[in-house]
């Protein structure tokens, strides 16, 4: 097993392919539509309570392509405890688990065995950070750092370190309504912040993730992901 510390090698994706609102609805279904140039991806999340926090099932389907499936088990503060990743088109089948101060990643990429251990110390592991940042969005904290495993690009199968900064409140249009939102900027930590950042908007009333805007890869078009449907007790 390879042992590595948290790196800040850049990998780019808006986080889909990468929950303490204490009263999150018992069961919710959320649908996001992501447009990146001519590519359209639909992300559907099913969120339920599961000891000690929440279980999230994510299916990401590209128009005219396959479906990437992920599952997340989180703590009550939305930090990730375990994660599975399945991309049949790219022949990737991974699973990862937090054990003490390390994240253990195993599985297969094609016929190549994956077996890695990332030392993270006390840095939160936030694999689905669109939803994982919801508590921070409505808190009084000004900044946050976390780590996440890359699923594509230069950071594939590497643990990257990210920094979150609060950009302030804004009014945005979401599903035809004007919504008070908090904009957060997520970037690679340290000097690598010049290589990637993305902006994330969260509903101020409850912290719901509403929109992402940024580049998924170097030289690629700007990607925009937006909430198009929410069902369940927490829907507005």
The pLDDT tens digits for 142-154 are 899 999 999 988 8
Residue 9 pLDDT class (50, 70, 90 cuts) = very low
Whole-model pTM: value is 0.87
* Cα–Cα–Cα angle for 22, 28, 31, rounded to 5 degrees: 125
The pLDDT value recorded for residue 234 is 62
User: Rounded mean pLDDT of 5-34?
Assistant: 59
User: Rounded mean pLDDT of 36-49?
Assistant: 95
The alpha-helical segments, DSSP class H, found in 97-151 are: 129-132, 134-137
Q: Give the sign of the dihedral formed by CA 160, CA 92, CA 212, CA 74.
A: negative
The pLDDT value recorded for residue 207 is 95
5-32 in b/e form (b: 16+ CB < 10 A) is: ebbbbbbbbbbbbbbebeebbeebebeb
């Amino acid at each position: 097993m390879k042992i590595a510390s948290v790196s800040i090698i850049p990998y780019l994706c808006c986080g889909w392919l990468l929950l303490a609102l204490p009263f999150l609805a018992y069961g919710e279904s959320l649908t996001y539509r992501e447009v990146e140039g001519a590519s359209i991806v639909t992300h559907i999340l099913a969120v339920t309570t599961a000891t000690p926090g929440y279980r999230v099932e994510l299916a990401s389907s590209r128009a005219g392509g396959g479906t990437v499936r992920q599952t997340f088990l989180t703590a009550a503060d939305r930090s990730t405890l375990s994660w599975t990743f399945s991309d049949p088109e790219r022949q990737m089948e991974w699973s990862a688990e937090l054990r003490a101060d390390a994240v253990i990643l195993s599985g297969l990429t094609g016929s190549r065995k994956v077996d890695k251990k990332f030392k993270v110390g006390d840095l939160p592991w936030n694999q689905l950070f669109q939803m994982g940042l919801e508590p921070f969005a409505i808190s009084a904290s000004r900044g946050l750092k976390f780590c996440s495993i890359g699923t594509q690009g230069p950071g594939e199968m590497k643990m990257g370190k990210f920094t979150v900064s609060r950009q302030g409140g804004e009014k945005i249009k979401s599903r035809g309504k004007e919504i008070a939102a908090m904009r957060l900027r997520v970037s690679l930590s340290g000097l690598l912040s010049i290589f990637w950042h993305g902006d994330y908007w969260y509903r101020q009333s409850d912290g719901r993730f509403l929109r992402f805007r940024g580049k998924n890869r170097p030289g690629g078009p700007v990607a925009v992901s937006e909430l198009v449907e929410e069902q369940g007790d927490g829907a507005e």
